[in-house]
Amino acid sequence: MKKNKKRLFLYLLFFAVFTYSCNNKQTVKIVGDIPNLPDGTVYLFKWSMLDKIDSAATSKGHFEMNYEVKDELPFYIGIFHRDKKNVQRVISYTTNVPKWGSPTFMTDPVIKIKGNLIEYTPGNIITSPDVIFADISISKIQAGRQTEALFNTGDPIFTNNTPGNVNMIKEKLKKYPFSYHILYKLIDNKTVFNSHQTDDFLKLFDDNIKQSKPYKELLEYNNKAKEIGKITFPLLENTQGNRVAMLDPHYKKHLIVFWASWCGPCRLEIPMLKKAYDRNGENIEFISISTDDDKNSWKNALLKEQMPWKQLLIDKKNPSFNDLQILLKFNTAIPYTVLVDSNLKILGSSTGLSSEQYLLKLIKKQ
């Protein structure tokens, strides 16, 4: 009798766990009806086109995908297409945000795309004959509330700390307190806004988001930023595997460059840094800090680039990474170059590939 009760208990326990697991699986259904899309293959990607997660054949503009998401928070997905002539179509979406289009939507349960592609030539990049850029109007897309919030909020308001942007973010949060896009953008740009502004933003999210890991991590970061006076520069790993001080107190100014071996613009910037170092290396300390996850990739890049100044490595999973972000207003976008004085005051900074002229101008700041 006891054995039967035990078996029944184990069966019920298994059934409950199995049912819970199944119920926590979400399927994202993507249906396309794009009359001028040639036959070929449409690819679904996560966050960027480099991370393909599903695909489907297209016939007469029709395709359908059912992608299973397991216990994940909403994230960005998008599609691109390759026809039978191997021509690739990069697809973006006109949104309700002026002068801003999105290459992605969010993982809502159902996404329907119905309408013709409108081809265009981007003005800021060199294109290939085998790549076509195309746009679809937001009016041709049916999706859920996460995508709605994305297409009505956009990115531009998160990049500059102006009264207008701060007020607009608050208004968007009041309308879309459930939006993971807004949360992700605040995380990506957490060095843009001060701790009091971020406090105001965090209070406006709904209870569901407040229970999420990204929200709690941003809250922890912001609480730490309020005590910036107590934060000190961490010791970082050098090329010999030793943990050393970042800054040499003998220098009055320090040029710190965040980079990674896989970052194309970072590698392109190195020859300019070498020229600047040859001119100013005696008076200004140059420090390169890699954010590489693979230590071997970092060391191989150092062997190839032969940078004659201090080389350090930071572990992004280490709490000290947050310390550097707070102290140097580093939002993880690379290359990021920042000039500080001996009192750790930021004299100037730039994100993205710098020109030689701008780099020399930055170095001269007092």
> What pLDDT digit, counting tens, does each position of 21-73 carry?
445 568 999 999 999 999 999 999 998 888 999 999 999 999 999 999 886 89
Per DSSP, the residues of 85-140 read T--EEEEEEE-SSTT-EES-EE--SEEEEES--EEE--SSS---TTEEEEEEEGGG
Interval 135-142 mean pLDDT: 82
Cα–Cα distance, 264 to 269 (Å, whole number): 9
In DSSP terms, 62 is beta-bridged to 33, 59
φ and ψ of 358, to 5 deg: -65, -40
Residue 351 in 3-state DSSP?
strand
Percent of the residues in the chain that have a pLDDT greater than 70, as a whole number: 92
Would you say residue 17 has pLDDT above 70? no
80 within 8 A of 92, measured Cβ to Cβ: no
Residue 218 in 3-state DSSP?
helix
How much is the pLDDT for 24?
55
Cα–Cα distance, 329 to 322 (Å, whole number): 10
pLDDT band at 4 (very low <50, low <70, confident <90, very high): low
Cα–Cα distance, 42 to 30 (Å, whole number): 11
Tokens 């998008």 correspond to: 78
Would you say residue 205 has pLDDT above 90? yes
Cα–Cα distance, 158 to 185 (Å, whole number): 7
Would you say residue 318 has pLDDT above 70? yes
Domains delineated in the chain: 25-144 (2.60.40), 155-226 (no CATH), 236-363 (3.40.30.10)
How much is the pLDDT for 39?
96
